[in-house]
Amino acid sequence: MTDQAVRCYRHPDRETGIRCSRCERPICPECMINASVGFHCPECVREGRRAAQAAEPRTVAGGPVAGDPRLVTKILIGLNLLVFLLAQVEGRSFVTALGLFTPCYVPGSVQCGVAGGPGEWYRLVSSMFLHQEFAHIAFNMLSLWWIGGPLETLLGRARYTALYLIAGLGGSALVVLLAPDTLTLGASGAIYGLFGATAVFVKRLRMDMRPVLVLLGLNLLFTFTWGGISWQAHIGGLVVGVIIAVAMAYAPRSRRALVQWGTCAAMLVAVAVTVWAGVANISA
């Protein structure tokens, strides 16, 4: 009786004398993948990659640990400072071109806000990076460094970026809905989103809540007692930031990515609906 020919487990029509050095399954030249010792089959290579990914260090929220845990915060500060310098050089026209307002801010102007013409929707984002006063940008950038840096370390770059931008959009959306006639600018909505997220993670990590609650309380006091401050942007950013942070902090490990990114998507939908409602109210 002759021995049965050994055939590749993935291609039964091909005879082979090579086996995977890990699982011992026969493999043909097409299926052979070089390894440190011998050859591996495609399935063993995929399993090895999954195991390596699972072993990678992760943040509290499940994001990959970055080499520079504050890179995004530095980039955001740089963008805000760059736009601030441009505003100082270009003057009022630059602020009016990028600031947030819904109806025409200047009657007869070609700049007609979010609700004008085809809609200048970019203002919802551009206003988040626009500052005009030195005190305003100094407070926001110091807050971004002190609050944002530790949060980026806890969340990872992608989740932190999503939190910052969506919280900022939440602040812009509430301005469109409740204060459409006011020229609004600044990163405060996003910053308040970071304040809210910090409170959530302090609770999640079972740290002392009192310092962050005192800081948040003082900022809310200033929001409602000082003139020239858009409380709508602050509250909108705070609410969105808290909701996203709860999903980031408490999502079950088995469905963590689905819950976290699903919540971010839901907040974007809520922002879009709020902006639509504000524009529809102006247009009515």
User: How do residues 95-112 score in pLDDT, each as one tens digit?
Assistant: 888 888 877 655 555 556
Provide CB contacts within 8 A for 115, sequence distance 6+.
102, 103, 180, 278, 279, 282, 283
Burial-class residue 46 by CB neighbours within 10 Å (0-12, 13-18, 19+): exposed
Phi, psi of 41 (to 5 degrees): -85, 165
Angle (nearest 5°) at CA 38 between 37 and 43: 100
Report how far residue 132's alpha carbon sits from residue 112's, in angstroms, rounded to the nearest whole number. Answer: 20
Select from 157, 244, 164, 168 the least CA-distant residue to 201: 244
**Could you list the pLDDT tens digit for every one of the 284 residues in the chain?**
345 678 888 888 888 888 888 888 888 888 888 887 788 888 888 887 776 666 567 777 778 877 788 999 999 999 999 999 999 998 888 888 888 887 765 555 555 678 765 668 899 999 999 998 898 899 999 999 999 999 999 999 999 999 999 999 999 999 999 988 888 898 999 999 999 999 999 999 888 878 888 888 888 887 787 777 888 999 999 999 999 999 999 999 889 999 999 999 999 999 999 999 988 887 66
Report how far residue 98's alpha carbon sits from residue 90's, in angstroms, rounded to the nearest whole number. Answer: 12
Structure tokens given for 140: 């926001």
Report how far residue 82's alpha carbon sits from residue 76's, in angstroms, rounded to the nearest whole number. Answer: 10
pLDDT digits (tens, 9 = 90+) for 199-238: 999 999 888 878 888 888 888 887 787 777 888 999 999 9
Structure tokens given for 223: 């929001």
